[in-house]
Amino acid sequence: MRPVRPEFLPDPALSREEMETLQFDVAAAADWTDAFDFDPRDVSLGTEASLTGERPLVAGVDQAFLGDRGVSAVVVSRGDTVVERVHAVTDLEIPYVPGLLSFREGGPIVAALEKLSCDPDLLLFDGSGRIHFRQAGLATHLGVVFDRPSVGVAKSLLCGRPTEDVDGRPEGWRTDVVADDTVENADPGEVIGHAYQSRQYDSEPIINPLYVSPGHRVSVPTATDLVSRLCGGYKLPEPTRRADAYADEAKAEYR
DNA sequence: GCGACAG
DNA sequence: ATCTTGTCGC
């Protein structure tokens, strides 16, 4: 896979102001409508045949750290079958700053995606997409750079506000996350993502919801639909879990 | 100045 | 994200 829009590559050498300017440009280039050619109903776990054509290839992307180096792992699968796994290690040039995550972790992610020999229909990232100060989170940024449908799945909320109280909701429940005054390029109240309860126990440990948002070429409702089809009884979607496990494996070899 | 803050 | 033992439960 090669970057289709290299002018948008997340360069850690940019000044903080240049990074923010690039994010506004990335958000302007992003498409938040369902602009993909597969049938979202074909995206699921299991081994059943697709309704129409071949089942989509979903790539889960996750990162792990080794001191001042970052490891990005990508696991591509078609339902339950893993088709390809690649990873890359690069030096981390800048510290973590809320809102600038793609500039810190973009290096290893781009390097790993460039090693992919197959081309996935959907990219699933651990982090936000539109739920971001300039609607240009990790998922949006990389989705635009590779011009590939992408979705962001975060375990906590960066910005914006859920329309309803999210505590103790039943499995399958979802509610809108709307822009607040910290989202610089959206009208307050605009829907930028969902809080989605992917898993919930009958009692005790109350599980927090997932914060799902479009990266590129996917709408808010569809982003959550896709994620819901990939959570096989676990809180996190399977592609992301596989990438997480592979990142740990790769990490162990560089120690 | 205070509070918020993906991974 | 990462540093970490034990522990509760299916």
Predicted confidence (pLDDT) per residue in A65-117, tens digit: 998 999 999 999 999 999 999 999 999 999 999 999 999 999 999 999 999 99
Q: Is the CB of A198 under 7 A from strand B?
A: no
A32 close to A150: Cβ distance less than 8 angstroms: no
> How many helices (H) and strands (E) would you count in chain A?
5, 9
Q: Is A126 annotated as a binding residue?
A: yes
User: In sequence order, what E strands does chain A have?
Assistant: 58-66, 69-78, 81-91, 122-126, 150-154, 161-162, 174-178, 191-196, 210-216
pLDDT, position A51: 66
pLDDT, position A254: 87
Nearest CA to A192 out of A152, A142, A237, A148 is that of: A152
Q: Is the CB of A193 under 7 A from strand B?
A: no
Does residue A91 sit in helix, strand or coil? Answer: strand
CA–CA dist A40, A35 (Å, integer):
11
Closest nucleotide (CA of A105 to C1')? B7
Q: How far: A5 CA to C4 C1' (Å)?
A: 42
Q: Taking the C-alpha atoms of A161, A163, A165 and A169 in order, what is their torsion angle to the nearest 10 degrees?
A: -110
Tell me the domain boundaries of chain A. 6-157+212-253
CA–CA dist A239, A227 (Å, integer):
10
Band (pLDDT 50/70/90 cuts) for residue A49 is: low
Q: What is the mean pLDDT of residues A15-44?
A: 96
pLDDT, position A50: 67
**Summary mean pLDDT of chain A:** 95
Would you say how long chain A is, in residues?
255
Which residues does strand C reach (CB under 7 angstroms)?
A 63-65, 126, 155, 247, 251
pLDDT, position A67: 85
Lowest mean pLDDT among A14-23, A177-186, A201-210: A201-210
Architecture per CATH, domain A6-157+212-253, reads as 2-Layer Sandwich (3.30)
Q: Is A62 annotated as a binding residue?
A: yes
Q: How many CB atoms lie within 10 A of CB A12?
A: 17
CA–CA dist A170, A163 (Å, integer):
16
Closest nucleotide (CA of A71 to C1')? C1
Q: At a CB cut-off of 8 Å and minimum separation 6, what does A144 contact?
A: A5, A8, A26, A29, A30, A216
Q: Is the CB of A132 under 7 A from strand B?
A: yes
Closest nucleotide (CA of A156 to C1')? B6
Q: What is the mean pLDDT of residues A241-252?
A: 94
